[in-house]
Amino acid sequence: MDEYKGKTLSWRLADGVVELGLNLAPANEIGFAMLEDLERFASSLPTLESKASALIVYSEQKAGFSAGADLRELYEQARKMDSPSAAKGVREFLERIHAVLNRLDTSSLTTIAAVHGVCFGGGFELALACDLIVADKMARFCFPELRLGLIPGFGGIPRLKRDIGNAVVRDLLLTGRSINATKALSVGLVSQVAAEGEALRLARSTAAQTTKFDRTTAAAAKRFIKPLPAEELRREIDIFCELFARPAVMDGLRKFVENAGPHPYLP
């Protein structure tokens, strides 16, 4: 499928570049609806890979690239179930999102995340599955999961560790702090910083450059330089599920969901 418009995203192939636009209000939260659309995209990748050189993942939402996993949906689903059923459901969700992100990670296309605004949690993990991250100067990256008694569950730690120094990974993970695009550039997470509102234009220019290269060579270079940390990704799912089974997590999720004030819930 060269073109698709779903409930949460759309994609279009033109001039050798696929553009995948996330578009779910308010901030592209990744729940079941987006997962299903992402699965549809992943199953279309073989066709797209035979016709294109590059893929740009971007957001059509003003708030940013993605605020991460849909915690409200997660909480609402989990609270209706007993603990073992909730844990089973979480594992199934993680297995599915990992399959999508692993497919994106290993795509033969040169993949570029064009990031603006919030790029948090699962959204950050989606960006990390791409080969390059181009960010506008208002972009902000964060792994807030420890605030809820969890670790990132969509492959974030192994992928971040693959890309940048372990000290920076620990800083982001263990403090849960967010960093801006300039800092992200300085630690090697982001490859280019664009002016405000210009990340997609910069990503398009970068993608156009990659269309000049032989695809077999580019794909071979990518396989060589970007191995999938498969074992760590498996372990991450196990650790996440162990942590999720604790009552403290549901309590943290409840406080997050019930927080109606302007101040963010930051334990």
**Residue 145 is a catalytic residue:** yes
CB of 135 vs other proteins, minimal distance in Å: 11
Using CB under 8 A as the binding rule, whether residue 165 contacts other proteins is answered as no
CB of 258 vs other proteins, minimal distance in Å: 14
**Residue 76 is a catalytic residue:** no
| Cβ count near 144 (within 10 Å) | 22
Using CB under 8 A as the binding rule, whether residue 118 contacts other proteins is answered as yes
Using CB under 8 A as the binding rule, whether residue 43 contacts other proteins is answered as no
Q: Which of 145, 198, 232, 236 is catalytic?
A: 145
By the 8 A CB rule, do 57 and 127 touch?
A: yes
Among 35, 97, 134, 179, interactor with other proteins by CB under 8 A: 179
| Spatial separation of the C-alpha atoms in residues 256 and 253, rounded to whole Å | 5
CB of 164 vs other proteins, minimal distance in Å: 16
Q: Which residues does residue 102 pair with via DSSP β-bridges, in sequence order?
A: none
Distance of CA 12 to the CA centre of its chain: 19
From the number of C-beta atoms within 10 Å of its C-beta (0-12, 13-18, 19+), residue 212 rates as: exposed
From 69-77, 136-144, 151-159, 207-215, span contacting other proteins (CB under 8 A): 136-144
Binding mask 186-225 for other proteins (x = CB under 8 A): ----------------------------------------
- The residue among 110 and 178 lying less far from other proteins, judged by its C-beta, is 178
Using CB under 8 A as the binding rule, whether residue 61 contacts other proteins is answered as no
**DSSP helix/strand/coil, 177:** coil
Cβ-based neighbours of 165, under 8 Å, separated by 6 or more: 187, 188
Q: Which of 125, 196, 231, 236 is catalytic?
A: 125
From the number of C-beta atoms within 10 Å of its C-beta (0-12, 13-18, 19+), residue 26 rates as: exposed
* 228, amino acid identity: L
Of 153, 112, 152, nearest in space to 132 by CA: 112
By the 8 A CB rule, do 146 and 120 touch?
A: no
Using CB under 8 A as the binding rule, whether residue 72 contacts other proteins is answered as no
CB of 112 vs other proteins, minimal distance in Å: 22
Among 176, 208, 226, 241, interactor with other proteins by CB under 8 A: 176
Residues in touch with other proteins (CB under 8 A) = 27, 63-64, 117-118, 137-138, 140, 142, 175-180, 182-183, 262-264, 266
Residues designated catalytic: 125, 145
